[in-house]
Amino acid sequence: MNAAQPLKCRPSDYKSEVKPIWCPGCGDYHVLMALTRAMAALGLPPERIAVVSGIGCSSRIPAYTNCYGFHGVHGRALAVASGLKIARPDMTVIVATGDGDGYSIGGNHFLHACRRNVDLTYIVMDNHIYGMTKGQPSPTTEPDFDTALTPGGTGLRPFNPLVVALASGANFVARAYSGNPNETAALIVDAVEHPGFSFVEVLSACVTYRPDQRAWKERVHPAPVAPTDDPARAARRLMTDDGFNLGVLFRGNRPAYAPAKASELVAPEKLEEEFEV
């Protein structure tokens, strides 16, 4: 946790009374835990935070918090969140989706959100599968993973979200593992506090369609090197890493998106003048 922030609230203050539909043992419970711990650590009142999502098991998370939430359609969370944050820069906006929502149908918004660099925190709960629709491959699914839709596996190179984020201009890139909720919470706090578009990929196991992911516990490890502020270097490292390096992997310093502002505002009626004959 970020020691500089006084703990004003308890994580439970950020939990709603809605019972998750998640399967027992789903990694997403830990993401929720990490998220509410991060919120408590940030010390923001729940009504100053908005959690925006798409569709999927993971995307159910907003209603399980006590913040303002938006559970939109599949793949469009970043667009909703960008509009919200640009129109309401005073709100803290956290986007939380899944690998299908964020990397498959939502891929274009990911590219352009990284590039636009609006001050958002983007958490992808990546389980390398479509949980909600019962086990089809996602862009991060391993090429030889067998599913009913892709017997024998997809044969496709998995999508590398962290490198794509770097290539597209994300200002903060981190990887977390939901089985470590305290570390995940700390990364989320860091991401929220970092200006611009912060991306946190969270490995969050699907115990129902990917029971093999229980082995993730053993595979994850802290990144062996300190975060860099050079996207090219970070990309190069991540293009060849094992996919289980945890921690902040890139910490950039591009200024966050700032829309044009007039030095002086005019009354709307004033705009009529240009049409006068």
Partner 1 sequence: MTSSAQSVSVAMVGSGGAGVLTTGEMLLEAACAGGWDGLLTRLVGPQIRGGEAASLLRLAREPVECMADQFDLLVGIDWVNADRFSDEIPLADSSVLVCDSAAGAPPTMAAKARRVIELPLSELIKAHPTWRANMIALGAAGSLLGLEESVLHGVISRRFAEKGGAVAAANVEAAAAGARAVDARRGWVCLAPAVHKTGKRWLITGNEAVALGAILGGVRFAAAYPITPASDILEWLAPNLTKVGGTLVQAEDELASVNMIIGASYGGVASLTATSGPGLSLMVESLGLATASEVPIVIVNVMRGGPSTGIPTKSEQSDLNIAVYGMHGDAPHLVIAPQSVADCWLSAQWATGLAEALQTPAILLSDQFLGQAQTAMARPAERPPVGRRILPEEAPSPYRRYALDSGTVSPMSIPGMRGCTYTADGLTHNERGTPTSGARDHIAQLDKRRDKLDAHPYGSLWATLEGEGETAVLTWGSLTGVVREGIAQARAAGVSARLIAPRLLLPTRPAEMSSALAGVERLLVVEQSHGTQFLKYLRAHYDLPANVSVLHRPGPLPIRPHEVCRRLLEGESL
Ligand X SMILES: Cc1ncc(C[n+]2csc(CCOP(=O)(O)OP(=O)(O)O)c2C)c(N)n1
Instruction: Name every residue whose Cβ is closer than 8 Å to that of residue 191 and which is 6 or more positions away in sequence.
Output: 121, 123, 172, 174, 198, 199, 200
Q: Under the criterion CB under 6 A, does residue 55 sit at the interface with ligand X?
A: yes
Q: Which stretch binds its own copies (CB under 8 A): 78-86, 180-188, 198-206, 225-233?
A: 225-233
Q: Enumerate residues 125-144 that contact ligand SF4 by CB under 6 A.
A: 127, 131
Binding-site member from 37, 74, 210, 237 for ligand X (CB under 6 A)? 74
Name which of ligand X, its own copies, Mg ion, none residue 133 binds, using a CB cut-off of 5 to 8 Å depending on partner kind: ligand X
**Bridge partner residues of 177 (DSSP):** 203
Residue 250: strand, helix, or coil: strand
Query: Counting contacts by CB under 8 A, is residue 212 touching partner 1?
Result: no
- When the beta carbons of 36 and 245 are compared against partner 1, the nearer one is 36
Helix segments in 23-160, DSSP class H = 28-42, 77-87, 99, 107-116
Subset of 37-66 contacting partner 1 (CB under 8 A): 45-48, 50-52, 55, 57, 60, 62-63, 66
Phi, psi of 30 (to 5 degrees): -75, -30
- The answer to whether 157 contacts its own copies (rule: CB under 8 A) is yes
> Which residues are near Mg ion by CB under 5 A?
98-100, 127
> Which tokens belong to 74?
């599949």
Query: Element (H or E) spanning 125, and its range?
Result: strand 121-126
Which residue type occupies 169? G
Query: According to the binding rule CB under 6 A, does residue 201 interact with ligand X?
Result: no
Helix axes 28-42, 181-193, angle to 10 degrees: 50
* Chain residues 229-248 in contact with partner 1, contact rule CB under 8 A: none
Judged by beta carbon distances under 5 to 8 A according to partner kind, the member of ligand X, its own copies, partner 1, none in contact with residue 215 is none
- Contacts with ligand SF4 in 54-83 (CB under 6 A)? 57
For the chain, how big is the Rg over CA atoms in Å? 19
| Interface contacts to ligand X, rule CB under 6 A | 55-58, 74, 97-101, 125, 127, 129-133, 138
